Structure 1
Amino acid sequence: MKVVLLAGGYGTRISEESQFRPKPMIEIGGKPILWHIMKEYLHYGFDEFIICAGYKQEYIKNYFAHYFLQASDISFDFRVEREKDHREIHTSSFEPWKVTVVDTGLDTMTGGRIKRIQPYVGDEPFLLTYGDGVCDVDIRRTVEFHRSHGKLVTMTAVKPEGRFGILDLDGDRIASFREKSKDDVGYINGGYMVVEPAIFGYIDGDDTTLERKPLETIADEGQLMAFKHNGFWQCMDTMRDREKLERLWASGEAPWKVWDK
């Protein structure tokens, strides 16, 4: 299965960083969060990626165009004749993945971006997620669950951590004050979806938001299934989110780091 990554939005809620580069290229531990997501998928055996780019899409293309050199120890010998290769590769440690970066437009909505990459996916099921969130979901089990029910779309359902404390009230008296837990909130769309190619027929064009009419219609038809994930999940909407992910990575205990190297 190919992996489709939505990476074309403006990222306005984290404009401190996104004014300089697309949100999926904001770094955690010196690597773009997009790289972290791709490493998750590679760990489960998925190595072909289609990136739906848009805002500052040239940044993503340049990153992968020079990725081999970034991952290599290399000597440049400019004393040799011009027609000879002046590069000598010593060691390389790059990932064995295929990456297709598609300019899906500057203001295209999420559904429209998916519609635009249809020629690259073809008539096959594919994996789909957003380029700004990481988790420790077992992607292989998600695919197995999708195949077991035979429906159109499987969506990973997660419970986000609460950001505010909870007041337990007994009338007007505060019985207790505690941190908000996952039990206090319902499931939300965590991305990490498995999608049948029939979804393209639910998308009209660039102005279509995937999470509105297409998925709402699919849900009404009983074709949208939830793979419940109660482990770690974190999106990177704000600088606070980025700082949290950075702290986890620096601690050496980042839950989404399921790969060995």
Structure 2
Amino acid sequence: MFSVRIRKGVIAALPSIGPRSRMLVPPLILACQGTPSAGTAPASWHPIVIAQTKTQPHWNSANLSKKDIKTMKVVILAGGVGSRLSEETTLRPKPLVEIGGNPMIWHIMNIYAHHGMTDFIVCAGYKGYMLKEYFANFVLHNSDFTADFSDNSLQFHSRTAPRWRVTVIDTGQGSMTGGRLRNIRHHLDADESFCMTYGDGVGDIDLTAELAFHRSHGLKATMCAVHPPARFGAIITDGIHVTAFSEKMSGEGPRINGGFFILEPSVIDLIEGDDTIWEAGPLEQLASEGQLAAYEHNGFWQPMDTLRERHQLEELWRSGAAPWKVWR
């Protein structure tokens, strides 16, 4: 286990959680717990826990040009096995598990596209051929067309497919999260920031504001720090007596790594090889060097780690009030 603190939004390493964690300006405390095995789902949603701090200001995005946003590449980690959702992932990679009739990765891409970011790099691995088939047929499945067998031509008519650019790269069956990022480095611009997130979590994150925040501090990395979804209710006690019950409380307590990173290309230098776990070595080093900032998101955020969570997301979508559906 390692721990770090965040002071004024910047994450800095601590050797342990203890008296030294009681720092000035309400600190954020992070702890990394557990190490995923090769080929399993990345320890994406539980490795970093952050104690509560003051609410960050809303970052002014007025100075961001449309070109600045549109040229941002978005890396999606989509190669893990997803063993905790084995009811679905024995048949397909987790990013292709459907919510409301569309794969999880489609929802994630729409969140980014809503903010003008439409150039995607998908890091495939486990059952990666299915991701390749999905995107290879994406326009076909979202268009009317005429197929002329006499000359093997295909003429598209009306289309509903969004105008995205999608690169799918096989980053290895057993690669860890850091290794997958390292393996797509040659598809990134050497001098431009890029986004990165996991292929199994959604939220109503203001990505434009997060980019403005990233530009404002000038550090190498920004992590979206979120409150974990409330799972249990609480009891109120007086001595040995239970005096009351309360409903599930969300938006309180510690924060965790919610993905939706904004990174500078130089962070990839910290990744040694395919077996490097992004959430351990590289993030820890960035924290120790004072190069990791936390963008605090107080709205909706939900991973899809289990069948129960998949059902929750499906119910929200069917209700017509899915909070992450920021696009129209």
Give 1:112's aligned residue. 179
Whole-angstrom distance in 1 between the partners of 2:111 and 2:197:
12
Whole-angstrom distance in 1 between the partners of 2:201 and 2:106:
11
Alpha-carbon shift at residue 176 of structure 1 (Å): 1.7
Whole-angstrom distance in 1 between the partners of 2:248 and 2:281:
32
Q: Would you say 1:38 and 2:105 are equivalent positions?
A: no
Q: Is the 8 A contact 1:6 1:129 kept in 2?
A: yes
Alpha-carbon shift at residue 118 of structure 1 (Å): 0.5
Whole-angstrom distance in 1 between the partners of 2:206 and 2:320:
20
* Greater share of helix: 1
Q: Would you say 1:55 and 2:126 are equivalent positions?
A: yes
Whole-angstrom distance in 1 between the partners of 2:246 and 2:152:
68
Runs of 4+ in 1 over 4 A off after TM superposition: none
Alpha-carbon shift at residue 134 of structure 1 (Å): 0.4
Secondary structure of 1:182's counterpart equals coil
Whole-angstrom distance in 2 between the partners of 1:119 and 1:66:
25
Q: Would you say 1:185 and 2:253 are equivalent positions?
A: yes
Alpha-carbon shift at residue 29 of structure 1 (Å): 0.8
Residue ranges of structure 2 left out of the alignment (5+ in a row): 1-71
Q: Is the 8 A contact 2:251 2:298 kept in 1?
A: no
When the two structures are superposed, what TM-score results if normalisation uses the length of structure 2?
A: 0.76
Alpha-carbon shift at residue 76 of structure 1 (Å): 3.7
Alpha-carbon shift at residue 220 of structure 1 (Å): 1.3
For 1:51, the aligned partner's letter is V
Whole-angstrom distance in 2 between the partners of 1:211 and 1:144:
23
Aligned with 1:228 (options 290, 296, 306): 296
For 1:115, the aligned partner's letter is R
Distance of aligned partners of 1:168 and 1:126 in 2 relative to their CA distance in 1, 3 Å threshold: same
Whole-angstrom distance in 2 between the partners of 1:137 and 1:178:
28
Aligned with 1:22 (options 76, 90, 93): 93
Q: Could you list the per-position Cα deviations for residues 71-123 of structure 1 after superposition, in whole angstroms to 9, with x for gaps in the alignment?
A: 01234455xx3x252x4433111111110001000110000110111100131
Give 1:73's aligned residue. 144
Q: Is the 8 A contact 1:168 1:177 kept in 2?
A: yes
Give 1:164's aligned residue. 232
Q: Would you say 1:92 and 2:175 are equivalent positions?
A: no
Aligned with 2:283 (options 211, 215, 218): 215
Q: Is the 8 A contact 1:162 1:185 kept in 2?
A: no
Q: Is the 8 A contact 1:54 1:104 kept in 2?
A: yes
Whole-angstrom distance in 1 between the partners of 2:74 and 2:245:
43
For 1:26, the aligned partner's letter is V
Q: Is the 8 A contact 1:17 1:23 kept in 2?
A: yes
Give 1:240's aligned residue. 308
Whole-angstrom distance in 2 between the partners of 1:89 and 1:140:
34
Whole-angstrom distance in 1 between the partners of 2:243 and 2:217:
45
When the two structures are superposed, what TM-score results if normalisation uses the length of structure 1?
A: 0.95
Q: Would you say 1:175 and 2:246 are equivalent positions?
A: no
Q: Could you list the per-position Cα deviations for residues 32-89 of structure 1 after superposition, in whole angstroms to 9, with x for gaps in the alignment?
A: 01001001111101010001110000000001111111001234455xx3x252x443
Whole-angstrom distance in 2 between the partners of 1:103 and 1:90:
32
Q: Is the 8 A contact 1:161 1:180 kept in 2?
A: no
For 1:67, the aligned partner's letter is F
Q: Would you say 1:2 and 2:69 are equivalent positions?
A: no
Secondary structure of 2:286's counterpart equals helix
**Count of aligned positions:** 256
Aligned with 1:150 (options 218, 221, 224): 218
Give 1:197's aligned residue. 265
Whole-angstrom distance in 1 between the partners of 2:261 and 2:168:
19
Q: Is the 8 A contact 2:227 2:252 kept in 1?
A: no
Secondary structure of 2:294's counterpart equals strand
Give 2:23's aligned residue. none
